[in-house]
Amino acid sequence: MSSILEIQNLSKTYQSGSRQLTVLHDVSFSLEAGATCSIVGPSGSGKTTLLGLCAGLDRSTSGSVILNGVTLDNLSEDERAEVRGKHVGFIFQSFNLMPTLTALENVMVPLELQGKTNVSRYALELLDKVGLADRQHHYPSQLSGGEQQRISIARAFSNQPKILFADEPTGNLDEETGQHIESIIFELNREAGTTLVIVTHDLALAEKTQRILRIKGGRLIEDRLVENAVNRKAV
């Protein structure tokens, strides 16, 4: 099975006044297509920075990111955005829905940005899979946090991504709602065969993925396989 994500000696340094702050130090790993993986670590350890670099949302100071065979390092922002549009889905802690669009319209956005037409039927099918077909005409402000996150999950899968990045997907939800969201993510991911990368503080959620990467002080200090992960397969 081929690697969909290769991270080679990745570092990220920010200029803070006269000081330089290095938040990632020489991180390397690779993920096979269809694998599920969690990135865990304390606040400020560099988890979200690493996720942003892996997804092409930011550019590293040194090292290399190869996403689905495409080296992101020297691409322009427009070129990286094109790669994200073709290959990547996102789920955020804060949902990031467009408040002036209905649930259905939010799910349709990634498809329309790709220039696809007649996308409402497919978007409605995804809403049905997350149990919100009957809320398709509601705006985000009319929905609960759990419902908004389910819409963001449907949107994340709408462009049939090769890899899905989820940043604290249950962080703003109560325990019961969070567990429901987890089930939906893993079920849709299993159906689509998507590679899944989750940044989380929730160790119980991390243990449901096939592999856990532990970050501390910007360094990868542990990389282990999980014996009883959801949808267990070789990674």
58-68 burial, b if ≥16 CB within 10 A, otherwise e? bebeebebbbb
pLDDT at 231: 54
Could you report the per-residue pLDDT of 19-53, keeping only the tens digit for each?
989 999 999 999 999 999 999 999 889 999 999 99
21 vs 57: CA distance, rounded Å:
19
pLDDT at 230 over 80: no
Angle at the Cα of 93 from the Cα atoms of 144 and 75, rounded to 5 degrees: 135
Q: How many CB atoms lie within 10 A of CB 138?
A: 16
Angle at the Cα of 126 from the Cα atoms of 1 and 175, rounded to 5 degrees: 85
Domain boundaries defined on the chain: 3-225
42 vs 191: CA distance, rounded Å:
32
- 3-225 to CATH, choices 3.50.50.60, 3.40.50.300, 3.10.28.10, 3.40.50.720: 3.40.50.300
pTM: 0.91
Q: Is-contact 32 3, C-beta < 8 A?
A: yes
143 vs 138: CA distance, rounded Å:
7
pLDDT at 228: 72
Look at residue 45 and give its three-state secondary structure: coil
> What's the whole-number average pLDDT of the chain?
91
Supply the DSSP symbol for 168: S
Could you report the per-residue pLDDT of 78-99, keeping only the tens digit for each?
999 999 988 999 998 888 999 9
Cα-to-chain-centroid distance, residue 233: 20
